[in-house]
Structure 1
Amino acid sequence: MFRSHPGRAILGLAAAAALTLSATACGSESEDTSTGSASLPSASADTGLAGKVPADIKAAGKLVVGTDSTYAPNEFVDTDGKSIVGFDVDLFNAVGQKLGLTTEWRAGKFDSIIPGVSSGKYTVGVSSFTINPDRLKEVDMVSYFSAGTQWAAKAGATLNPDDACGKKIAVQTATVQADDIKARSKKCTDAGKPAITVDQYQAQSDATNAVVTGKDEAMLADSPIAAYAVKQTGGQLALLGDIYDSAPYGYAVGKNQTEFANVIAEAVKALIADGTYKSILDKWGVTAGGIDSPAVNPQA
């Protein structure tokens, strides 16, 4: 999710119940924990990297990971109603394995996760966070993927994303997309056209449902999320326009935890080198967003 701190179907009618459960269980603060997906082989531990893990984190033996698990296919609740799975989950679990650490996933509201990292509630925030200057004032970030914004609407819709004045548009709250659509609405009113009605939802799954059910006319979300929603709705939704404003996702760690951030970046590089990174991206159909060189605070 190309999501900002100040960018998550009905997934076909058969999946509606599971989706509702996901949004209910994880769209709000929760102390539910999960080890995440275990469907891929374990990444091999790297003793050299494990030796670079800060002493306090090594002593804990685990990484407590904050995530908003309503953003399929990046992070979402599995059909059992409790396990957190997805591309982000598989990849960061592999990062933990490289560092000789386990992961404990905790679900929370998207806009509470970075504050939770800053307060020490979470060791790391992993929730499709776009790296931007505002976030870098609060936390250090390690790039690991690239995504842009993509629109979607009911199949056959003729709505033009560049002229959505007077339309009802769905977004997840506290995202880059929410800022984007507000700016587009202002352009409409500045030009004497009707404002865009912006419907904001805590969970991306609810925003997508609003388009499928006709409550809203279109939505915008991170490119992998929009593409996944289209796939899962079995033709009910279609993508509109092109992907734009691509930027890196980043893992969020405490501000000035440079040592820890650097070792996470090295772990991602090791996963790229041994092929684990590509295998995980291929599994979730998000290969187009792969990067070659993870970096700490790349926009700092």
Structure 2
Amino acid sequence: MARATHIKALALLPAFALAGLTMACGAGGNGSGGTSQPAGGPAASQSAEIPAVAKDPALAAMVPQAIAADGKIVVGQDQSYAPNEFVDEQGKVVGFDVDLGNAIAQKLGLTTEYQNAAFSGILAGLGAGQYELAMSSFTINSERLQTVDMVSYYSAGTSLAVPKGNPDKISLDDLCGKNIAVQQGTVQVDDLAARSQQCTSSGKPAINVQQFQQQTDVNLQVQTKRSQAMLADSPVVDYAVKQTGGAVETVGQPYDAAPYGIAIKKDQGSYAQAIQGAVQALIDDGTYAKILAKWGLNTSGALTKAELNPQS
């Protein structure tokens, strides 16, 4: 399941505005938290350009003039979550969400401007008019639907990852007393809190939840064996496995799958319907599948229908 918003900003650095530069250096440029790209890894597919899509005049006409006037959609996102949104070795913002966001904008006859932000502040910024769209691996849930409209575009679960060979024999059913790394503000933090409560209620030691501001730091913790395991969104874990050349591996299968959603400020006429229509058009014309393939996302999470404000 994707990231939550309510606690991620607890340890924001004062220089967070420079986070894009920090990630490009600290994460080795590829978002994995490692320092090298394995031979035969996803570099070749990631360099592939997604063909531009044609404007749909009917969908474009649904975009409010206040948004369309300058020819671009300003998108808020936290660019530390490879392969969904991150900064590559050339300092360029890339990822699944970025390619899909670009294609959505093209379908509406517009371009995109991605603004890096603290994850916890993105939806507030959307509500305040700072952004015109929020696309940053948000899980759709009832709490968010009270404040924003959301269009579904992919279903992701939570995965458990460990150092190669699983030296501590970690399993999802027995995390009590273990050092588990996780990104601040994610639903995985809540998951671990609930599991830790079960541990202590059964007379076992609590889980030592090690929270980090960026996912790249979480990946590095496991890769260097400073943490015994980590929990993260399934696409993020799959990407980390590839980028570390197998220094990190998954245990078991993803669980608690839920859809990612593109967030739109409420009460903007037919704008949300325009975004929904654009996503559906990209699914129907095959662009969506090409973007999934480029970033190595599991097709089991692919959607055939983009829904506006789906209820769980």
Under a length normalisation based on structure 2, what TM-score does the superposition of the two structures give?
0.85
Q: How far apart, CA to CA, are the structure 2 residues paired with 1:121 and 1:4? A: 20
Instruction: Tell me the equivalent position of 1:288.
Output: 300
Counterparts of residues 1-300 of structure 1 (less than 5 Å)? 2-6=2-6, 17=25, 19=27, 39-81=49-91, 83-157=92-166, 158-257=169-268, 259-286=270-297, 287-299=299-311
Displacement over 3 Å in runs of 4+: 15-18, 20-23
> Are the equivalent residues in 2 in contact too, given 1:5–1:134 (CA < 8 A)?
no
* Letter of the 2:84 counterpart: N
Give the secondary structure class of the aligned counterpart of 1:221.
strand
Q: Show structure 1 runs of 5+ residues with no match.
A: 7-14, 24-36
* Letter of the 1:65 counterpart: V
Cα 1:208–1:258 change in 2 (3 A) is farther
Give the secondary structure class of the aligned counterpart of 2:271.
helix
Q: How far apart, CA to CA, are the structure 2 residues paired with 1:87 and 1:248? A: 15
Q: Show structure 2 runs of 5+ residues with no match.
A: 7-22, 32-46
Give the secondary structure class of the aligned counterpart of 1:282.
helix
Alpha-carbon RMSD across the aligned residues, in angstroms, is 1.9
Q: How far apart, CA to CA, are the structure 1 residues paired with 2:82 and 2:177? A: 29
Q: How far apart, CA to CA, are the structure 2 residues paired with 1:258 and 1:218? A: 45
Cα deviations by residue, 1:229-262 (Å, 9 ceiling, x for unpaired): 0111111111011111101000011123352111
Give the secondary structure class of the aligned counterpart of 1:144.
strand
Identity rate of aligned residues, in percent?
53
Report the number of matched residues.
278
Give the secondary structure class of the aligned counterpart of 2:219.
helix
* Letter of the 1:245 counterpart: D
Cα 1:56–1:16 change in 2 (3 A) is closer
Give the secondary structure class of the aligned counterpart of 1:43.
coil
Shift of residue 172, structure 1, vs aligned partner: 0.7
Q: How far apart, CA to CA, are the structure 1 residues paired with 2:24 and 2:247? A: 13
Cα deviations by residue, 1:103-159 (Å, 9 ceiling, x for unpaired): 000111111111111111111111010001111122111101111100100011110
Q: How far apart, CA to CA, are the structure 2 residues paired with 1:21 and 1:111? A: 23
Shift of residue 17, structure 1, vs aligned partner: 4.7
Shift of residue 21, structure 1, vs aligned partner: 6.1
* Letter of the 1:294 counterpart: A
Q: How far apart, CA to CA, are the structure 2 residues paired with 1:193 and 1:207? A: 25
* Letter of the 2:27 counterpart: L
